[in-house]
Amino acid sequence: MALSGIQIYKMLPQTNCKECGFPTCLAFAMKLAAKQVELSACPYVSEESKKQLAESAAPPIRLITLKADGTEVKVGNEVVMFRHEKTFYNKPGLFLRLKASDPDIAKKVATADAYKVNYVGMDFNLNGYAIEADGDLSAAVKAVREVTKRPLILIGTDAAVLDSSLSLLSGESTLVYAADSSNYESLADVAKKHKASLVVKADSLDDLADLTQKVQAKGVEDMVLDLGGKNLGEWLARSTQARRLALKSNFKPLGYPTIFFAAQNGLDKEAVYASQAIAKYAGFVVIDTFAPEMIYPLLVLRENIYTDPQKPIQVQPGIYEINSPKPESPVLVTTNFSITYFAVANEVEGSGLPAWLVVTDAEGMSVLTAWAAGKFDAERIAKAIKGFNVADKVSKKRLVLPGHVAVLSGEVEEELSDWEIRVGPREAVDLPAFMKQALN
């Protein structure tokens, strides 16, 4: 039975140390009771209290982890319905489905596995593969494992076939799809034997809740829900209801991540269905089509939704090459606020002029905001120039500061005495003209 905030408070150290991020232990206890924080945030809670608070400390949606040779996918552990309430934590895994009977399965996996796209300093790719047992599943698993180490989902209903295939994946954490009322006992035994997670499916949420309890009684704790539904609208309604029951009512039988097959209503709607599933509230999204033009926007959408809304969207600090810069090309500097980065990068790229763009760590603030907050100053700029070894890439040391912080030019000259410091325009749109006129 879940504990109230007052009951939890009585088990806490009551020191009001604030190290948990809350002003008082009572405030922390209230958040813990509401499933909005984790017990681990309190550094001083006793081991005895941890045991007593296990239920209240457990996340309302169970954390499921798939692992394979150093790569892993984590889903679940979410605590809010809407990202603006706090944030979403674990991005849904994007898996490509393949058929075991396909003679080109290894080739297709190798092509998909090589796909990688860089988005503002972050590398995006597929998370894993789902293999459907319409042929020799064990042979397919062996073929796939020769070309990729990413986690797998095994799709089948024959317990013996799944058992032999899982034996080939020793040491991995795999997801098995899917147990229903007719086969849950045999599949639960296989999942338990191989320490695999198990997808459970039913025609209604009531039947699904009943089935998860039966599977749990068989000794399987790690489950994923297939919510079914005749169309996207019905799936969305069930997904929202299950999430709300888990978060708001602490209804444990539905407190698990979900899986969604985007091509279930045809390939022509696959991208739309996958987008909806990423937004609300799939843990695993399985697609049937490998097309970079479809996968890239899905990965970007997922990143945007699973970015903390209470923190500015940031670009990875570093040195970026625009239009294949040469050693004599100028060095521009800006902050790691994503909008600022894109404004500068897009203008320079559109002009066709080569340049090095140094992005400093300003905690995601824009130029003026970061300067006013002391997060974009001469010391930080100099540290970025030196830390990213910019001098090793250029023959002509010219550094262009944003016009809004012209006041920093003298201080930057002191920090970088061997560099020529120039003050650029105040607006990114004026950069191309400035580069053509003032830097030639």
> What are the boundaries of each domain within the chain?
5-57, 64-305, 318-438
The vertex-341 CA angle with 412 and 354, nearest 5°, equals 80
State which H helix or E strand residue 410 sits in: helix 409-415
Token couple for 386:
């030196």
* pLDDT on residue 121: 67
The pLDDT value given to residue 118:
81
pLDDT attached to residue 56: 62
82's CB contacts (< 8 A; 6+ apart) are none
Q: Backbone phi, then psi, for 205, in 5-degree steps?
A: -65, -35
Q: Is 119 helix (H, G, I), strand (E, B) or coil?
A: strand
Structure tokens at 148: 């990729």
How far is Cα 275 from Cα 301, in angstroms, rounded to an integer? 8
Output the pLDDT for position 309: 80
- Structure confidence by residue, pLDDT tens digits, 8-53: 888 899 999 999 889 999 998 888 877 677 788 888 888 888 877 7
What's the rounded Cα separation, in Å, for the pair 82 and 79?
Answer: 9
Looking at CATH, the fold of the domain delimited by 64-305 is given as: TIM Barrel (3.20.20)
Q: Which two tokens stand for residue 331?
A: 């060095």
Level-2 CATH architecture, domain 5-57: Orthogonal Bundle (1.10)
Low-confidence ranges of the chain (pLDDT < 50): 1
The number of helix segments (H) and strand segments (E) in the chain equals 17, 17
* 417 token code pair: 């005495």
| R_g of the chain computed on alpha carbons | 26
Contact 158, 133 (CB under 8 A): yes
Q: What local confidence, expressed as pLDDT, does residue 308 receive?
A: 80
d(CA 153, CA 162): 11
- Distance, in Å, from the CA atom of 50 to the CA atom of 281, rounded to the nearest integer, reads 30
CATH number of 318-438: 3.40.50.11600
Q: How far apart are CA 346 and CA 252, in angstroms?
A: 48
Helix H or strand E encompassing 435: helix 431-438
Do the beta carbons of residue 170 and residue 135 sit within 8 Å? no
